[in-house]
């Protein structure tokens, strides 16, 4: 179990990690006007595992996440929720989204932002208060409940964004480049914090990023996408030992190997696309 890394190309082996898929996309296609954004993308999100989508801008990774989140409609293809019985809709949504920075409601206090999903679902006040407290504690923000987003740093705002999603206790957490606009040092802190939260909750996570490093540090599996049209190029198993930290992952030789392989793949696909 000591940094045994497999960088095998992921031919479409279903449930590679031996788990049930939390959600599956099959042949998802999306066009914006005449441009083909997603070309028949199939993806299994393994239950209880952390999957990252990496790719150049324009590869449709955010569009895929938005389709799964229900924010965008696919032109064709299917979305299959793996474990239908665990999600009684309304009361306990099986999905929650962590957005990019600037998505907190500026007119709501931290507490009310985190309570947002629960309030919509009509959960009673007592449960909301208790759940919000617990979630804020999880992201180390106890004591900022009464503050407003504009009074917080970018990193703290993103932790509130994570708490807002976690408060719903969803089965699946969709994260759309949540750390893209925080500074490098804060980002590393947030990585450690997210890793710690993931260890505690074992949510099924789909994490969209353009940072290879970030994808490797956080994930069990990295799915690399290519652009024009958006498609899945290859899947990488990240068998770095857990529990991880930014530091513990980065010092492993396997980290550098993975980074190299993913980078090579992205570079060659970009060159191919350019030559095509």
Partner 1 sequence: MTKVADEELRVEVTKRSPTAPSSLRRTKNVAPLKWAVRLTAVAVFFVAWQIYASGISPLLLVPPSAILAAAGHMIADGQLGTDTLLSLEAMVTGFGLALLISVPLGLVWARYRVVDWVIQPFVMAIFSTPLIALVPLYVLWFGFGFMAKVAIIGSFSFFPLLLNTYQGAISVDPMYRDVAKAFRATDRQTWRHVVLPSCIPYIAAGINISLGHALTGMIIAEFYTNASGLGGLVLNNADTFQTARMFVPIFVVMALGVLLMSSTRWLKRKIAPWAER
| 117 in Cβ contact with 63 (< 8 Å) | no
Which of 48-56, 75-83, 112-120, 183-191 is the region at the interface with partner 1 (rule: CB under 8 A)?
112-120
Q: How far is the CB of 269 from partner 1 (least distance, A)?
A: 29
Q: Select from 13-21, 77-85, 111-119, 125-133 the region that touches partner 1 (CB under 8 A).
A: 111-119
**Cα 237–chain centre separation:** 16
* By CB under 8 A, residue 32 contacts partner 1: no
Of 106 and 253, which has the nearer Cβ to partner 1? Answer: 106
Q: What is the spatial distance between Cα 118 and Cα 131, in angstroms, rounded to a whole number?
A: 9
Q: Does 56 bind partner 1 (CB under 8 A)?
A: no
Residue from 33, 85, 107, 126 that binds partner 1 (CB under 8 A)?
Answer: 107
69 to 88, contacts with partner 1 by CB under 8 A? 69-71
Closest to 151 measured CA to CA, from 120, 210, 204, 107: 107
Residue number, 145 or 195, with CB nearest to partner 1 = 145
Q: Residue 121, interface with partner 1 (CB under 8 A)?
A: yes
Q: Does 120 bind partner 1 (CB under 8 A)?
A: yes
Least separation in angstroms between CB 225 and partner 1: 21
Number of residues this chain uses to bind partner 1 (CB under 8 A): 25
Q: Taking the complex as a whole, how short is the minimal distance between the CB of residue 59 and partner 1, in angstroms?
A: 20
Task: Choose between 96 and 190: whose C-beta lies nearer to partner 1.
Answer: 96
Radius of gyration of the chain (CA): 19
For helices 125-138 and 110-120, what crossing angle results, to 10°? 130
* Residue selected from 27, 76, 105, 143 as contacting partner 1 according to rule CB under 8 A: 105
Contact 50, 217 (CB under 8 A): no
Q: Is residue 50 within 8 Å of 218, Cβ to Cβ?
A: yes
Mark residues 174-213: x for contact with partner 1 by CB under 8 A, - for none: ----------------------------------------
User: Considering only residues 139-168, where is the footprint of partner 1 by CB under 8 A?
Assistant: 148-150, 168
| 90 belongs to the binding site for partner 1 (CB under 8 A) | yes
Residues 235-274 that bind partner 1 (CB under 8 A): none
Among 29, 81, 87, 100, binds partner 1 (CB under 8 A): 100
Binding site for partner 1 (CB under 8 A): 69-71, 90, 93, 95-97, 99-100, 102-103, 105-108, 116-117, 119-121, 148-150, 168
């Amino acid at each position: 179990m000591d940094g045994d890394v497999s960088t095998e190309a992921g031919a479409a082996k279903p449930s590679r990690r031996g788990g049930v898929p939390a959600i599956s996309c099959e042949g998802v296609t999306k066009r914006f006007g005449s441009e083909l954004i997603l070309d028949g993308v199939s993806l299994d999100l393994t239950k209880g595992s952390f999957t990252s989508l990496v790719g150049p801008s324009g590869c449709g990774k955010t569009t895929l996440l938005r389709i799964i989140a229900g924010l965008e409609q696919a032109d064709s293809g299917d979305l299959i929720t793996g474990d239908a019985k665990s999600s009684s809709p309304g009361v306990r949504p099986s999905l929650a989204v962590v957005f990019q920075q600037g998505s907190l409601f500026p007119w709501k206090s931290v507490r009310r932002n985190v309570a947002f999903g629960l309030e919509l679902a009509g959960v009673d006040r007592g449960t909301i208060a208790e759940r919000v407290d617990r979630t804020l504690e999880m992201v180390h923000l106890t004591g900022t409940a009464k503050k407003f987003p504009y009074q917080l740093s970018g990193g703290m705002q993103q932790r509130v964004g994570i708490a807002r999603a976690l408060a719903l206790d969803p089965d699946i957490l969709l994260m759309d480049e949540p750390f893209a606009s925080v500074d490098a040092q804060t980002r590393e802190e947030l990585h450690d914090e997210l890793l710690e939260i993931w260890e505690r909750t074992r949510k099924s996570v789909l994490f969209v990023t353009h940072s290879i490093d970030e994808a490797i540090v956080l994930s069990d599996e990295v799915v690399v996408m290519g652009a024009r049209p958006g498609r899945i190029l290859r899947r990488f198993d990240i068998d770095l030992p857990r529990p991880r930290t930014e530091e513990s992952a980065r010092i492993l030789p396997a980290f550098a190997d993975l980074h190299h392989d993913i980078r090579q793949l992205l570079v060659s696909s970009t060159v191919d696309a350019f030559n095509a």
